[in-house]
Structure 1
Amino acid sequence: MTTGAWTPATAGDSALPAPAAQRQQRTHQVQLITGDTVEVTDGRVTGFDPAPGRENIPVHVESDGKRSLVVPLDAQRLISEGKLDERLFDAAGLDTAAARRAYKDGLRVIVGYKGAASTARAEVRDAGSTKVRHALKALNAEALTTPSADVPTLWKSLTQADNDVMRTTAQGVDHVWLDGTVKAQLDVSVPQIGAPAAWQAGFDGKGVKVAVVDTGVDADHPDLAGKVVAGKNFSTSPDNEDHQGHGTHVASTIAGSGAKSGGKYKGVAPGASIIEAKVLDDTGSGGESEIIAGIDWAVEQGADIVNMSLGGPDTPDADPLEETVDHYSGTSGVLFAIAAGNEGPGASTVGSPGSADGALTVGAVDSDDKMAGFSSRGPRVGDGAIKPDVTAPGVDITAASSPGSAIAQEVGENPEGYVTISGTSMATPHVAGSAALLKQQHPEWKAAELKGVLTGSTKDTGVPAFDQGSGRIQVDHAIRTGVYAEQTSLNFGTAAWPHDDDKPLTRTLAYRNTGTADVALDLAASGTDADGKAAPEGMFTVSPAEVTVPAGKTAEVTVAADTKVEAADGQYTGAVVATGTDQNVRTAFAVEREVASYKVELSHLGRDGKSAAHFQTYVKGLTGEAAGSEFALDENSDSTVLRLPVGEYSVQGVILADRADSTKGTDWIAQPKLVVDKDQKVTLDARTAKPVDITVTERRAKAQQAYMIYAVKKGYTNYQFGWRLTSYKNLRAAHLGPEITDGSLQQLWEADFHKGADTQYSLVYGGPAERLDTGFTRHEKRRNLAEVKAGIGEATPGKDAYLSTIGTLKGSLMGFASGRMPLDAPSTQHLYLSTADNAQWSIAMEQLGDTLPNGWRVTDATYRVSQAVYRPGNTYTENFNTGVVGPVLAGYSGLTRSTNTLYAFLDVLSDGQGHAGGSTLTSAHTTLSRDGEKLTENDDDLSVFSFPVPAEDGTYTLSSSVTRAPNIALVGTRVDTSWTFHSKDGDKALPASTVHFRPDVDLQSRIKAGRKISMPVEVEGAAAGENLKSLAVEASYDSGATWQKLSLKHGRASLRAPAVDKGVALRAEVVDQQGNISKLAVYDAFLGR
């Protein structure tokens, strides 16, 4: 989890194919809990490597623009049963920057047990080098870290094979969750909620302990002096200090004295004490298990209230954080004030753990009680319940700063010692502080009473309950409230369509009187639709309309939602308002009037025409109310009859002879377009499928991978569905349903084969379609393929490498990466690639380095050719990771200006053949000056650079230098670049140039020592062609101590190769006709052999 709920205020060797626009893509590997490995490139799944022994298990692949699920078939049932966290199979989620940091030592999971489960615990702990990081009391669980190599063993210890090879949880194991990542999410705001009135009444939070579960607290800040009564570090950071600044801001909003500001920035409950649980690291991120361990400890320390200004994405199932919150709310009476999140204003964006039933979930308003655009909204994912519960001020909140912290540096202190930031993180401590005032007034009250009074005494801000809950908190009203509703909100659920026979939906609302005198209440209910339009008269009622609540007791009323009335379908929210003498109690409610929905019955027939013994089918909503929703069915599902809202769906599934081995008979049947507008039956009949047979004529080539996928585009979302198998052996496929003639359907078939250690065949076919292929046959002859001799360069001795290919159908779908077997360097691989159907090919080479503690190999360098088009029968050479390195200005690379900002996107270490890429750097330094005056400098390279500049014309110089260590490369050890150019306001490419040195080096970037060579020198960019004014090239054989000018003739420079194992440095200066100057120097450009 992360902090972050804050924002700053306010024939032979043919000629090479023409290069496509290139940019450095970011490819990473993530590991599933099954032990299988998934390759992710820029958020897209681009490869799969099964763990040993799992080669023949089918793998379902699906993406919808938000998630990229890669689910081996043996894990699906556990996911469907809610025993296995689906996040463990979301490759895009596992590949976020926060996740990569969190899982650098191995896969982190939380395992819940049934009872003592001593045997299960022992077996899990014995899974290789698995380590127990935390024992989580509230969950009867353990937080584990397992290195990559031991994850397959962990999977076997957590699960066991069922009689049909599907996995179930091992005996004693109850749940397996991903230990996910979470992020962190007053002079006007404190009076806004009525805190001064509470102070005047004698309540300042004295005697109340509030736990700040966050990034730490600066206990030395004058506003927090003496406030922190206990503190402990649970994060991965080395100390308990608040280097991020988020927790200090939160703590001072709760209990700050305002001492440094003369009381101006006093917190809500300045008499309260703070328990500091540092669970988020110095970047504002943390793991769920650290947060749970911090909560366990805070409760042990006697916390009355826990503030959690943090969160992560919510799912329909209860996650470990939600279960922990609900556990302590119910058993210990601790109130949890939790940020709703900053993912608004879209619907169903409230994060976890704010989504927990027991949480008092807080959205944000500004000083005028207007909803903050960033504040996350309901309804809650899964059941449509009301979240957030309340709102509080969260825009431009000024509170204590932790000196030198990340937030202080980013937004600046103003006044000194304070920062002003926004977010639901800032709203939440207003509620926690208010709860502390109320707790002081009523020490015997627990979470239920505190939450009931705070939610009931709110101010209606005039927006739907899914935005504001019951309203904005008013603690001055809360301390005068003697009556509250035991149900803080009412969820009527969904009234099934059609509505002409609807019976009123009713809920009981119980009012509790905490006072010593009876209280008479007048009751009224009203609501609005999602657009704020008043609901029809009579849709919401409460009876009786008047009730007297006896002193110290409860009185019940019935609230009804009559969805039979003439009204538009959809969601409605509102509130029951109970008024009496000095009492005004609000209770939010919600109901959904279901849109037109119908029954869809699915049946599955095997190749023999009988009910299929094994199947796995997915139904995905594409349009309408169900867009993005999914249903997974198999032979053990309770029912294969679904009730679906009107709209379009995609149905696809496999019928299998053996779940553990796709080669024994698999039928893939897909209906990319199912229009639900009536009751209907859908039959997936294996007898309609035809064989898929993709081969090459090379008999010794063995199948490595088969990948089949289709996509349906709806609006801006491209829904993709497919399966990854080892081969197409005994596979058949069929299209089901109507043709799709609107151009939204695409399909791809991929087949990969290996012959020995140095030859690979990769084939992709397909493209736009109106029907999916019912059967597909292609026997590819070598003459129809392009051969690519892929040279793996050795930049430094002792390295091995990966080489992989990915095929793409132009303007269509992308296949999976093939290869990724460790290969020696230097070496040459022979790639045979298909050329039909507008195939484009990306080839990537990775130089491998050390092995990390989690078992992954470090990537020292990466180079790739992207989306190249090759011709059949031709042979091409692509040498990777060889000299002479330098910047490339083609495609996405270059220097640009957009209005008054300069941008650089440059791979200054692109290899000698111009492949985009780069490697690990030892150092980097960049400087930008204007008219001789330095504007900025930093210790970064130019891969991503931007800086604001004046609108007026000026002469700029952008200079950068990077270095590489010998264990990364012996060539290109230092690259200096400099561009001097004129620029003024406007959007355009800047007049930058560069030089490419093209000596004929071998795969070790060497040339025979002392040999006289004629080296091609090419100018790229603004000075190319007739716009070149001058070009000078020099060489140095003593690391730049002295330089000698090289003669240039017909685009070639004459020089001698350096001595054995020595390098030569090359530098050039280019001037264009307009006077713009570009300089490049490459040290150890190539070596002598």
Structure 2
Amino acid sequence: MTSLTPSRRRGRRAATATAATLVAVLASLSGPAGPAAADTPAPAPAPAAPAAGGPHTVTLLTGDVVRVSGPGTGPQQVDVTRPHGATGGVRTEVVGGDLYVYPDEAMPYLAADRLDRRLFDVTALIGQGYDDQHSDGIPLILGWRPGAAQPLATRTLPSGSTRVRSLPSIDGTSVKAAKKHARQLWTSVVPAPAAPQAVATAATGTPAPLLRDGLAKVWLDGKVRADLQDSTAQIGAPAAWAAGDDGKGVKVAVLDTGVDSHHPDLAGRVSEAVSFVPGESTQDGNGHGTHTASTVGGSGAASGGVEKGVAPGADLLVGKVLSDEGSGDDSWVIAGMEWAVAQGARVVSMSLGGTDPSDGTDPMSQAVDRLSAQSGALFVVAAGNTGAEASMSAPGTADSALTVAAVDSGDQLASFSTLGPRFGDYALKPDIAAPGVDIVAAKAGGSAETGWYQTMSGTSMATPHVAGAAAILAEEHPDWTAPQLKDALMSTAKELPGSTAYQVGAGRVDVPASLGAAVTATGSAYFGFDSWPYDDQAPAERTVTYRNSGSGAVDLHLSLSAEVAGGPYDVDPGADAGTPAPAGMFTLSADTLTVPAHGSASVTATARPHLGAAGRRYLGQVTASDAAGAVLTRTQVGLYKEDERHALDITVKDRAGRPAAALVELQQFGTDADPQLIQVGDTGRLTVRLRSGTYSALTYLDVAGSHGPDSVGMALLGDPEITLDQDRQLDLDASQAREVTAQVPRTTEDRTLYMDWHRSDGGLSTLDSQYLLGPAYDSMFVQPTRQVTQGIFEYETRWRKAQPLLTLTRDGKPVTVLAQSGSAFYDGRKRLDTVYAGAGAPADYSGLDAEGKAVLVTRSDAVTGSQRAQAAADAGAALLVVVNDTPGKLLEWVGTDAGDYSAVPVVTVTAREGAPLVAQARRGGLRLAADGVPNSPYVYDLADPHPGRIPATGLTYRPKPSELATVDMRFHGTTSYPSGEFRWDYRPYRTYSLGSPLRIDMPGTRTDYVSAQPGTTWAGDAITGPGMALESNGAITAYKAGSKVTEDWFAPVAHPRNGGGYWWSERQQGFLSFNVQPWTDSAGGQEHGGTMQDGSDTLAFTVWQDGEQVATSAWPSATLYPIPTTPSTYTLDLKAERDPAAYRLSPRTHTVWTVKSAPVTDPDRIDRMALLQLDYGVATDLAGDAHGGRQTLRLTGSHLPDAAGAGRIKGATLAVSYDDGRSWHPVALDEAADGSWTARYDAPHRGFVSLKAQVWDDAGNRISQEVTRAYGLT
């Protein structure tokens, strides 16, 4: 039976979408302070502004390129471009609000823990600045298997990666993987593309897939951040100074954002400083590092000694491991740790942490433990600022770290301080507490005029207090090792009644107590994790050791008390809290002990878990007192008795009823933990042990299709509601699955096909899993389920059907072909003479007349797909048909190495179907009829949801015309660049939708038929221009069944406008945000928003507040914070330009807005700004041209919907220009009853019309807009 370890719990992610956002957050948690400054309350944090403009693109380690668009708080769209040579499909999942994208090839290695799951967390990668716009590489940490013969510095790296630095403390190497070579790196890391169902992992007891070249695991080199949220007297430092103890001669390394070496408190205090941040000096451009360094050992010179640090005599070493933006890479931190111990640091202060909870096995935690053991240095690390249980991140989760919580000036737990236990094993963390609220310390860049000091809050501020205390103790005891220092500080800490060890560790650090203690004790003793089913009643024993540094023996009186601290942290954290532990559950081997002078003595603490209640955490302490009853030391103890578990016997079968291997995902209700991915091996059976509760299980299984021997299908097998109140059986049986199909009246093929599984318990646990089938799949099956009784469940199938790209027939009989990746499109209908060209190498065409013909070749390892395509093109072939040389379908890349399409259309056929074709071609006389359409004249966008259960019948979707909406699509423009379009579907629960663009040529038209059942909504999206950089993103639309509508894309006039597919310009309490899309088309009220995704346009956006410039940006958005608490007038100026060679219309615009805005006092209220918008209605052809002569233009002014402070539209003006704005001609306007205006004017028969319009309301809001070459004239 396999026992599953807890899955990763969702942590509270920091708002680090951009460097500017992070700086704003840090600044908001600090305020000026100093001898002459009054304390002021810190303002609320600034919001993380959504990314201006459109999507983010993220290249994954596998080479898959993920594009996430639809920025804002609403539903978003995801499309995935597969790399050359990719196999299988792609799975997307939304868990805890984060989007994960998992290519099939990666799944076995994720299940075997060979890959860091964060490598596929697209949301986090964007948030950490690892999207393609901000990073051209993927930062990785390579972990090596033991026993490598080569030295670490010379080990062979995966192809496509560059060595950044060796990390000997963890036997690792940090590298940068060039994104343009990501696929190359992937194929050099994994042995071979592996079908998910064919690989066994450690979870089954069989060997897990190993990575190549001695690699043990590939980690994301993730981001760490500064843990930011009279204190020296609070911990008793002045008493130590009075006794002559100030840390003199003790080296303390501060690993942070650097230091302001010019600050009076730190002048001459730093003996060495090194930066590990590429391109940045050790100078602190953030302020966090200066604050923490001065808290450790600042002289207080700028305050006459009042604000001196805890250990002002310590020798400070500064390692800059966080950038001026306050964040850094894991590898920078590890390198800094290695440097610190190499410099002889006795204490290392680290006010930083990662973004996700850790169980202590991550690279940074491993480095702390190994370096501490090797060097004797004590690593003092911030607990973090999530304020949540079991959410502590690395490196504070390391066993040997002295992990610091924060308390306020009254020794009360700070609300932001991260709580224990450690994720996974419930170990005791944090270890100790220190002041961390409103801490006054040195201000980077301070002066006598602006103040030398500032206040900051966070466990970052608590950590240097403990580091300074450790330095003072190390001065007093120069021979003590890191464990002795840690034990002494913990065992003598001040007890904080009402707080537990999971909150404050041993208590608040007490410098005089640690210095004056003759006897110290083991700081903590964790009895461990007692796993169900409690196979034996063996007690757990831990040794508590007492050390006496005094000259006389000491007699100790010992006692041990314990109580329930709560239940499982993710299910019932407060259960039975405060209830005393049963009698006899925790005992000591002796209740008295004599510790000899300058010696040690030990006692055995014993826990008997069988006496405790299942699913309870126990905390207690061993107290040592003298004869008078005075407490000398306290040792924290803990134990977790796992809650009740039951066996889930899983069987997996294929469509023939044979055992099959599978990756099964288990989702537990009532918890925010990530779903667990487990491997069922080739036997098709696995028993796992799980907590009592309700679960959902899901797997995607490759199966035989329904269209013959070479047919490939995908089966979704699962049970959305498993009540595990006793041992249960889970049958994932594809032989019981039903085929899912869609039938429409016109001839189609599937262009996009995915299966969606949504399961939510209605509270903490939600899993939305979408599987995008690859083009080789031709069949789809689902296993029927029972109606759920808890939460929300829905299964949906999504099809995008279009006319087949190529229909091939022989003597009137269809030949089943598969279009290849990177292939050119076949356009037209023709009967082609067909010749056979062997393996398709250039030599095979010698003496062969292939000009204008179809060429038949047989696949061979000797010739790549690209080489075959190029040879056929060089021979003048009209079509290349590749016959597979092994059973099954063939899909390969046939485009160029540069990523361009092949010069000839390429399709493949199976060996079975191709054999008679080859035979006839060799004999001569083979003719194939080809009918190809690059752009389908029609599309069916179909969605078939099944809420509550997957039925056993009704899985063939046959929509009637009256159940669909008919949408006439009109694509405007004359661009020769590749263009694409997709319509994304949403259900009420879904935050992301998956798909990929369908090719379109512009100008062009198409008729779409769209599902319109209740609860299904859609959002259109079109892209065009060089690199398909111009995106027009539509708002969410609910079509009416039986309706007929027209949708225009890229229609003139393109101009700045806030489209419904983007976040609005809005105001909340304390801040406001402006956002405009500069290239929005005139889509007749369809609420599109147009942006240039590659930054190829030139934008200048400036904002004035009551006449004073407050923001300027190269993006068309701005967030202002703080803002006045009185009504203000804002002026926005946006100048936008784009390449006129690529975009003949609207190459340049200039818009100025004036908008009034009043304060928002309700913290839950969001007001849309009364930003005026213009819409232009002009009749042009699809190329964007109108006939010269008499022109009619409709001008409409409007506010954002439901805008606060919007007045009644009062007036408008319009002028036109035929010389690109050099001269303007006013045009009379006729106002209509609906508030719009009609302009009529005579224009020449060639050239362009430029427009200059103004609209204003009676509340003082105004817009003035100039559009150069708004539309063309013929």
Q: Label 1:812 to 1:562 Cα distance change in 2 as closer, same or farther (>3 A).
A: same
Query: How do 1:110-121 residues align onto structure 2 when only pairs under 5 Å count?
Result: 110-114=141-145, 115-116=147-148, 118=150
- Cα deviation, residue 553, structure 1: 4.0
Secondary structure in 2 matching 1:336:
strand
**Which string of whole-angstrom CA distances, capped at 9 and with x for unpartnered residues, describes residues 119-154 of structure 1?**
9998964623x2111121212222111222311111
Is 1:38 the counterpart of 2:87? The answer is no
From 585, 591, 603, the counterpart of 2:633: 585
- Cα deviation, residue 259, structure 1: 0.5
> 2:1135: which partner in 1?
962
Secondary structure in 2 matching 1:438:
helix
Name the % identity.
29
Secondary structure in 2 matching 1:726:
coil
Q: Quick check: 2:406–2:417 contact (8 Å CA) kept in 1?
A: yes
Aligned partners of 1:117 and 1:1005: how far apart in 2? 67
> 2:512: which partner in 1?
476
Is 1:623 the counterpart of 2:675? The answer is no
Aligned partners of 1:848 and 1:438: how far apart in 2? 67
Is 1:431 the counterpart of 2:459? The answer is no
- Cα deviation, residue 391, structure 1: 0.9
Query: How do 1:211-250 residues align onto structure 2 when only pairs under 5 Å count?
Result: 211-250=253-292
From 704, 714, 721, the counterpart of 2:769: 721
Give structure 2 stretches of 5+ with no counterpart: 1-13, 17-21, 32-41, 43-49, 200-208, 567-573, 806-933
Secondary structure in 2 matching 1:590:
strand
Q: Quick check: 1:673–1:740 contact (8 Å CA) kept in 2?
A: yes
Aligned partners of 2:94 and 2:376: how far apart in 1? 41
Is 1:885 the counterpart of 2:1055? The answer is yes
Q: Label 1:766 to 1:284 Cα distance change in 2 as closer, same or farther (>3 A).
A: same
From 682, 691, 695, the counterpart of 1:645: 691
> 2:855: which partner in 1?
none
TM-score between the two structures when normalised by the length of structure 1 = 0.87
Is 1:918 the counterpart of 2:1091? The answer is yes
> Which amino acid in 2 is paired with 1:805?
R
> 1:198: which partner in 2?
240
- Cα deviation, residue 86, structure 1: 1.6
> 1:1065: which partner in 2?
1251
Q: Quick check: 1:784–1:873 contact (8 Å CA) kept in 2?
A: no
State which drifts further: 961-970 or 1078-1087.
961-970
- Cα deviation, residue 224, structure 1: 0.7
State which drifts further: 667-676 or 965-974.
965-974
From 353, 370, 376, the counterpart of 2:395: 353
> 1:772: which partner in 2?
950
Secondary structure in 2 matching 1:977:
strand
Q: Quick check: 2:63–2:82 contact (8 Å CA) kept in 1?
A: yes
Q: Label 1:498 to 1:148 Cα distance change in 2 as closer, same or farther (>3 A).
A: closer
**Which string of whole-angstrom CA distances, capped at 9 and with x for unpartnered residues, describes residues 878-922 of structure 1?**
313752313348798766666786665554653322412434463
Is 1:322 the counterpart of 2:365? The answer is yes
Flag the structure with larger Rg.
Answer: 2
Secondary structure in 1 matching 2:131:
helix
From 163, 169, 172, the counterpart of 1:138: 169
Q: Label 1:1048 to 1:47 Cα distance change in 2 as closer, same or farther (>3 A).
A: same
Is 1:804 the counterpart of 2:1008? The answer is no
> 2:1216: which partner in 1?
1035
**Which string of whole-angstrom CA distances, capped at 9 and with x for unpartnered residues, describes residues 155-209 of structure 1?**
12112147985453114112211111111119x1111111112222222112222
Q: Quick check: 1:492–1:506 contact (8 Å CA) kept in 2?
A: no
Q: Label 1:201 to 1:29 Cα distance change in 2 as closer, same or farther (>3 A).
A: same
Q: Label 1:898 to 1:519 Cα distance change in 2 as closer, same or farther (>3 A).
A: same
> Which amino acid in 1 is paired with 2:1176?
F
Q: Label 1:77 to 1:551 Cα distance change in 2 as closer, same or farther (>3 A).
A: farther
Secondary structure in 2 matching 1:429:
helix
From 477, 489, 509, the counterpart of 1:442: 477
> Which amino acid in 2 is paired with 1:1081?
Q
Is 1:420 the counterpart of 2:604? The answer is no
> 2:660: which partner in 1?
613
Aligned partners of 1:703 and 1:900: how far apart in 2? 47
Aligned partners of 2:595 and 2:181: how far apart in 1? 62
Q: Label 1:658 to 1:618 Cα distance change in 2 as closer, same or farther (>3 A).
A: farther
Aligned partners of 1:1023 and 1:152: how far apart in 2? 46
**Which string of whole-angstrom CA distances, capped at 9 and with x for unpartnered residues, describes residues 208-246 of structure 1?**
222222111111111111122222222134333211111
- Cα deviation, residue 1054, structure 1: 2.2
- Cα deviation, residue 484, structure 1: 3.2
Q: Label 1:603 to 1:996 Cα distance change in 2 as closer, same or farther (>3 A).
A: same
Q: Quick check: 2:650–2:686 contact (8 Å CA) kept in 1?
A: yes
Q: Quick check: 2:56–2:126 contact (8 Å CA) kept in 1?
A: yes
Is 1:683 the counterpart of 2:731? The answer is yes
**Which string of whole-angstrom CA distances, capped at 9 and with x for unpartnered residues, describes residues 458-492 of structure 1?**
11212111111111111221122343334634243
Q: Quick check: 2:653–2:684 contact (8 Å CA) kept in 1?
A: no
State which drifts further: 769-778 or 278-287.
769-778
> 1:535: which partner in 2?
580
Aligned partners of 1:814 and 1:1023: how far apart in 2? 22
Q: Quick check: 1:45–1:91 contact (8 Å CA) kept in 2?
A: no
Query: How do 1:834-913 residues align onto structure 2 when only pairs under 5 Å count?
Result: 834-836=1011-1013, 838-847=1015-1024, 859=1029, 862-869=1032-1039, 871=1041, 874=1044, 876-880=1046-1050, 882-888=1052-1058, 904=1074, 906-907=1076-1077, 909-913=1079-1083
From 494, 499, 507, the counterpart of 2:530: 494
> 1:16: which partner in 2?
none
- Cα deviation, residue 535, structure 1: 1.8
State which drifts further: 26-35 or 638-647.
638-647
Give structure 1 stretches of 5+ with no counterpart: 11-21, 851-856
Query: How do 1:446-595 residues align onto structure 2 when only pairs under 5 Å count?
Result: 446-462=481-497, 463-486=499-522, 488-494=524-530, 496=532, 504-528=539-563, 529-530=565-566, 531=574, 533-536=578-581, 538=583, 539-563=585-609, 569-580=615-626, 584-595=632-643
State which drifts further: 473-482 or 833-842.
833-842
**Which string of whole-angstrom CA distances, capped at 9 and with x for unpartnered residues, describes residues 836-875 of structure 1?**
454322122345667xxxxxx9x56553343352655736
Q: Quick check: 2:1062–2:1089 contact (8 Å CA) kept in 1?
A: no
From 1043, 1055, 1077, the counterpart of 2:1241: 1055
Q: Quick check: 1:24–1:916 contact (8 Å CA) kept in 2?
A: no
Secondary structure in 1 matching 2:285:
coil
> Which amino acid in 1 is paired with 2:647?
K
Q: Label 1:288 to 1:782 Cα distance change in 2 as closer, same or farther (>3 A).
A: farther
> 1:127: which partner in 2?
159
Aligned partners of 1:844 and 1:325: how far apart in 2? 48
- Cα deviation, residue 117, structure 1: 5.4
Q: Quick check: 2:1053–2:1271 contact (8 Å CA) kept in 1?
A: no
Q: Label 1:122 to 1:226 Cα distance change in 2 as closer, same or farther (>3 A).
A: closer
> 1:994: which partner in 2?
1173
Q: Quick check: 2:1207–2:1257 contact (8 Å CA) kept in 1?
A: no
Q: Label 1:937 to 1:131 Cα distance change in 2 as closer, same or farther (>3 A).
A: closer
Say what the alpha-carbon RMSD is for the aligned residues.
3.9
- Cα deviation, residue 33, structure 1: 1.9
Q: Label 1:881 to 1:596 Cα distance change in 2 as closer, same or farther (>3 A).
A: farther
Aligned partners of 2:748 and 2:1201: how far apart in 1? 51
Q: Quick check: 1:338–1:361 contact (8 Å CA) kept in 2?
A: yes
Secondary structure in 1 matching 2:1034:
strand
Q: Quick check: 1:193–1:392 contact (8 Å CA) kept in 2?
A: yes
> 1:18: which partner in 2?
none
- Cα deviation, residue 1022, structure 1: 9.0
**Which string of whole-angstrom CA distances, capped at 9 and with x for unpartnered residues, describes residues 541-563 of structure 1?**
33312112234444232223445
- Cα deviation, residue 801, structure 1: 4.8
Aligned partners of 2:102 and 2:784: how far apart in 1? 23
Aligned partners of 2:53 and 2:126: how far apart in 1? 14
From 282, 288, 292, the counterpart of 2:330: 288
State which drifts further: 351-360 or 965-974.
965-974
**Which string of whole-angstrom CA distances, capped at 9 and with x for unpartnered residues, describes residues 597-632 of structure 1?**
32222222333434x2322212211126x9655252
Aligned partners of 2:782 and 2:334: how far apart in 1? 47
Aligned positions, number: 1048
